[in-house]
Amino acid sequence: MNRRDALSRVALLLGGTVIGGELFLAGCTSADKKIGQSVEFTADDLAYLDEIAETIIPATDTPGAKDAKVGAFMGVMVKDCYKESDQKVFLEGMNKLNEASKKKFSGNGFMKITPEQRKELLNELDKEQKAYAKDKKKEDPQHYFTLMKQLTLLGYFTSEPGATKALRYVPVPGRFEACIPYKKGDKAWAL
């Protein structure tokens, strides 16, 4: 499979066609944020994205999304790789997510609520994005939380902490064993 295989592996690296090349950007107070290459994330924006990512992929016995600097990664991807329309969805989504938090938790924005409340909120948003994706037409925009979740998974599992701690990363396998035993709980190979 060769280079065609390489292709599918790149797609895999990117989290498949879902993520590939279509991204976003934003700031939590910034419906007026510029899009395109002039998109800028403030330190507060990135901290906010870090907390969203950490809620999706928390530290457990292995590092979480914050350890993997996924917030900053999201910023880079949204700025460099997202079409403007996806940037808009993402940026607006940062506001929407915060508004949803305020609405649900008596005026408290996402940064002010507890980890448990964050988990509850994002699980709701995850159900919302799954339902949206089911009925969505091809040309419809993605749900902002689909984008956030995809970027979090991509950013985490291809990061050094994610690939080497949550997964097993072997840079130079040196051999191929075609069929070895697997037992539940063994980590997947990175890449």
Partner 1 sequence: MPDNVYDAIVVGSGIAGGWAAKELTQKGLKVLLLERGENIEHIKDYKSANKAPWEFPHRGGKTTEMTKEYPVLDRDYPLNEMNLNYWTNEKDCPYTETKRFDWYRGYHVGGRSLMWGRQSYRWSDLDFGANAKDGHGVDWPIRYKDIASWYDYVEKFAGISGSKEGLPHLPDGQFQPGMELNCVEKDVAARLKQHYKGERHLFIGRVANITQPLPGRTNCQYRNKCWLGCPFGGYFSTQSSTLPAAVATGNLTLRPFSLATKVLYNKDTKKATGVEVLDTQDNKTYEFKSKVVFLCASAFNSTWVLFNSATDIWPGGLGSSSGELGHNVMDHHFRVGAEGIAEGYDDKYYFGRRPTGFYIPRFRNTGSDTRDYVRSFGYQGGASRQGWNRQIAELGIGADLKNALSEPGPWSLGMTAFGEILPYHENTISLDKTKKDKWGLPVLAMNCEIKDNEKKMRVDMKNDAMEMLEAAGLKDVKPSESDYFMGMGIHEMGTARMGKDPKTSVLNAHNQVWDAPNVYVTDGACMTSAACVNPSLTYMALTARAVDHAVGELKKGNI
33 binds partner 1 (CB under 8 A): no
CB of 97 to partner 1, least distance (A): 13
* Contact indicator for 167, 148 with CB cutoff of 8 Å: no
Q: Residue 152 has which token pair? A: 């979090």
Length in residues, the chain: 191
Footprint (CB under 8 A) of partner 1, residues 169-188: 169-188
114 binds partner 1 (CB under 8 A): no
39 binds partner 1 (CB under 8 A): no
Q: Residue 176 has which token pair? A: 């191929």
47 binds partner 1 (CB under 8 A): no
CB of 75 to partner 1, least distance (A): 11
Binding mask 118-157 for partner 1 (x = CB under 8 A): -x--xx--xx--x------------------x---xxx-x
Of the candidate residues 30, 55, 142, 146, the single one contacting partner 1 (CB under 8 A):
55
Pick the piece of the chain touching partner 1 (CB under 8 A) from 12-20, 25-33, 100-108, 136-144: 12-20
20 binds partner 1 (CB under 8 A): yes
Extract long-range pairs of 80-84: CB within 8 Å, 24+ residues apart.
Answer: 80/37, 81/21, 81/22, 81/23, 82/22, 82/23, 82/24, 82/25, 83/22, 83/23, 84/35, 84/36
Radius of gyration (Cα) for the chain, nearest Å?
Answer: 18
How many residues sit in the footprint of partner 1 (CB under 8 A)? 74
57 binds partner 1 (CB under 8 A): yes
Decide whether 137 or 176 has the Cβ nearer to partner 1: 176
Extract long-range pairs of 30-35: CB within 8 Å, 24+ residues apart.
Answer: 30/91, 30/94, 30/95, 31/91, 31/92, 31/95, 33/91, 35/84, 35/87, 35/88, 35/91
CB of 63 to partner 1, least distance (A): 10
| Phi, psi angle pair for 18, to nearest 5° | -55, -45
Of the candidate residues 47, 102, 105, 191, the single one contacting partner 1 (CB under 8 A):
191
